[in-house]
Amino acid sequence: MDRLTSWERRTSVALLAIGTGFLLSWAIPVLVPDLSPAAHKAFWYVQVATWALFTTDYLIRFALAPRRLRFLLRNIPSLLVVLLPLLRPLWLLRALLLLQVIAERVRLPLRLRAVVYVTGTALFLCMVGSIAVLDVERDIPDSNIKTIGDALWWSLTTMTTVGYGDRFPVTAEGRLVASGLMIAGIALAGVVTAAIASWFVERFERTAALERRTEAELAQIAAELGETRKALAELAHTHGALRDELATLTARLNS
């Protein structure tokens, strides 16, 4: 086990707690806008602290990585979160780091893990996207997304690519969040479709293999029946010969 893997295993629980803290400190002020200024300030400090901890973790993992270029390419979302902490739509991206940490800790069979991951990702994106778009759209005069109910409905129709058009973002930040949800929705739909297709193919292959096995067993049974029939015919022939000999011996004894 290299040093990077060892570090990631030791800090996975801590990162999960940090990610949860960030998500709550970001979501609560959006969902409860009537909080006191002191509460808003405290939640802001929590967000800054979680960003600093994520940044520290990223720098440590980068220093421990045996192949740093590969590490950079495989952790681009984490890098964007570190480099652009003040860009508000990227708070959504930072929140997704929590989902990544949770996914790494799931220990389930492969197929069940895929179902849980896809379902969890869809629900998580819908929830976080709703909060993000509500955060940037609620105070805009021309906006039609004013409540969390509006935001959840918009998120659901956007991710499922239904797009009724009754709710839509009017700000650049809201449209950026919408673009992310559209891409994620299409990607998740593709994953679900591929998983269903894979399940059907596996079932068909299993059925075909069972049919081939059954045909082979039937062929073997037919061959064994043929051999049994042949053996019975030979026994019948032998029985007939023995009966003839017994009749001959009886006739001789009686003469």
Task: Map tokens 């964007």 to a residue.
Answer: 80
Q: What is the pTM of this model?
A: 0.65
- Give me the pLDDT at residue 152, please: 92
Q: What angle do CA 138, 141, 144 make, to 5 degrees?
A: 55
- Give me the pLDDT at residue 61, please: 87
Tens of pLDDT along 198-216?
777 877 788 888 888 888 8
b (16+ CB within 10 A) / e for 83-114: eebeeebbbbbbbbbbbebbeeeeeeeeeeeb
CA distances from residue 107 to 12, 83, 103, 121, 123 in whole angstroms, order as listed: 14, 32, 9, 16, 20
- Give me the pLDDT at residue 38, please: 92
Structure tokens given for 197: 């297709």
pLDDT range class, residue 153, cuts 50, 70, 90: very high
Number of H helices, E strands in the chain: 8, 0
Tens of pLDDT along 160-177?
878 788 888 998 888 888
Task: Map tokens 């269903």 to a residue.
Answer: 196
More confident position, 59 or 199? 59
Q: By the 8 A CB rule, do 91 and 132 touch?
A: yes
CA distances from residue 135 to 22, 30, 31, 173 in whole angstroms, order as listed: 15, 6, 9, 10
pLDDT range class, residue 89, cuts 50, 70, 90: very low
Mean pLDDT in residue range 152-159: 90
pLDDT range class, residue 42, cuts 50, 70, 90: very high
Instruction: Indicate whether 240 pLDDT > 50.
Output: yes
CA distance 29 to 103: 27
pLDDT range class, residue 104, cuts 50, 70, 90: low
Tens of pLDDT along 216-236?
888 888 888 888 888 888 888
Answer positive or negative: Cα dihedral of 183, 163, 133, 125: negative
Instruction: Indicate whether 108 pLDDT > 60.
Output: no
